[in-house]
Chains A and B, each alone.
Chain A
Amino acid sequence: MTAVVELDHATIKLGGRSILADASLTIQAGEFIGVLGPNGAGKTTLMRVILGLLSPSAGSLRVFGRTPQRGNTDIGYLPQVRTVLPDLRVRGVDFIGSSLHGECWGLPSLSRHDRSMIEETLEAVGARELGHRPLSEMSGGERQRLLLAQAVLGQPKLLLLDEPLISLDARHQEIVIDLVHKVCRERGITVLFSAHELNQLLGTLDRVLYLGNGQAVLGTVEEVITAPVLSRLYGTDIQVLRAKGHIFVMSRGRDIEVTDHQHDHSHGGHERHH
């Protein structure tokens, strides 16, 4: 196994606030890592450091054994803040194509090879028909699929997906997870997949990277999703309940994850009794 992302006593600060303090961990090649943690825990910030947009203030973070640099073509990225103008009547292929050699000066042009690569990637994520439709006419799920195609374009070895499930309904969330899983297994891509909710990823992820309270814990679900570890990360008393293959992380009697998509599950047994 080779290390893809290594943190060695890394401290990451954002606007004077410590996101990570003295964190050390190693993500191996081919792993599917679920990145979890409360809002503001630093999931996006960690990805920005891996991309070379920010530097650790102490310690080191290495990607493929090197200090991260902006424009690393080995990294595919699906940002969380996706600025899509409502009136953007640009078709899918042009949208995706803009990222290919988008950093070069001059007129945009795509070689035959570039175009066939786009076609192949669209095919791989089942979005072939999206290539010719304008962005403004796509649903949230379709747009996400297109962005996913773009993220895996150019054969990246590491994929950073920042909240790719946000604003998708349960069915489309499953489709996206399955898609990422399939494409990345086939191509041996290492994945960092940040999400609000753990349960949907349970069958897919290899290990969990849980961020919170300036700390990061990397391990299997059994190791990380426990009351003592999460209580430390949230800085409050946390209970972990396992039922019917689901895990519920509770604080003061309330599920701390987004519960919007779990209406069909009974919440009756999850109350914390005093």
Chain B
Amino acid sequence: MAATSVTTDMFAYEFMNNAFAAASIAAAVSGIVGYFLVMRGQTFAGHALSHIGFAGATGAGLIGLAPLWGLLGFTLVAGVVMGALSERISNRDIAIGIVLSLALGFGLLFLHYYTSFATQATALLFGNVLAVDVRTIATLAVLGLITLVALTIIMRPLIFVSLQPELAEAKGVPLRFVSIVFLAIVALAVSECAQIVGVLLVFTLMVGPPATAQRLTTGLWSGLFCSALVALGEAWLGLTLAFYTDWPVSFCIALLSGLAYFASLSTLARRPHAPVLDHRHG
């Protein structure tokens, strides 16, 4: 790892280049998808998806598949089910909390039966971006593209449904369909994000940056871009910080994510009537 480095140029190392590429893809996708997660007040549902993904990843290990596919499969199915049950479950803290801990418990059970896989547990829970290879980067890029294209297609009704569900229903927007597709998108984003920071820390890239962005700007487009930029900045700075301090990457990103959010809160407190930048719709 970084402590044994003989040169201080982090880009001299292939693993750092790979880490930057993977983190960039995951951060951009997380920041953008997370913006809508925060707007919809479904952050806890996103968190639950990542825990369900943990069960999927360890389960995949049991049957000899790559953890990413188990993670992806489980989160996708769970996302679709949550979306279909929509109002009844995806916004209910208790139901989500129980599903979340149940999933984590199953993850532990799968680990228990596949002991050689146990070394991977930390990587799954807290991420291991420094071990990412080129093939994983390619997979992340393809998944990221699918995620963003799907989001682009449903973005307009998604915003309408998120802000004004009753009115959207009256105007003929298929609420349940939008909800299902969105949580499937979140499932993809969670799978991406978990590759970088681990299932326990997906909030650092999926909730921290959009929450910070919402404090800094109130426009839709400016908020979206700001969220993606903050996520990218935190990922890059986090990797850099980890390289020079030898702290875990996920810790560094989590730290920056938290600091950015609290800093944005205090900015707002100091300027309660700050003029709002006018970023027009395109």
Chain A residues engaging chain B, CB cutoff 8 angstroms: 48, 51, 53, 70-71, 75, 77, 79-83, 85, 87-91, 94-95, 97-99, 101-110, 115, 132-134, 150
Contact = CB atoms under 8 A, between A and B. Distances in A.
Interface of A is mostly: loop
A56 B38 CA distance: 38
Interface of B is mostly: helix
A115 to B, nearest CB: 7
B170 A89 contact: no
Interface string B151-172: 0111111011101111111111
Interface residues of B, number: 34
A102 B39 contact: no
19 contacts: A51-B170, A53-B169, A71-B172, A75-B170, A79-B167, A82-B166, A83-B165, A83-B166, A85-B39, A89-B215, A91-B218, A95-B164, A99-B164, A103-B171, A104-B156, A106-B152, A108-B156, A108-B220, A115-B281
Contacts of A132: 218, 276, 278
A102 B282 contact: no
A108 B155 CA distance: 7
A89 B215 CA distance: 7
Contacts of A88: 39, 163
B171 A102 contact: yes
Of the listed residues A51, A53, A91, A95, the one surrounded by the most CB atoms of chain B closer than 10 A to its CB is A91
A101 B172 CA distance: 11
Contact of A103 (B160, B163, B166, B276): B160
Contact of A106 (B41, B153, B166): B153
Contacts of B214: 87, 89
B209 to A, nearest CB: 14
B219 interface: yes
Contact of B276 (A97, A115, A133): A133
Contacts of A109: 281-282
B170 A98 contact: no
A157 to B, nearest CB: 15
A102 B170 contact: no
A111 B250 CA distance: 43
Given A77-B170, A83-B166, A88-B39, 5 more contacts: A91-B218, A105-B157, A107-B282, A132-B276, A150-B167
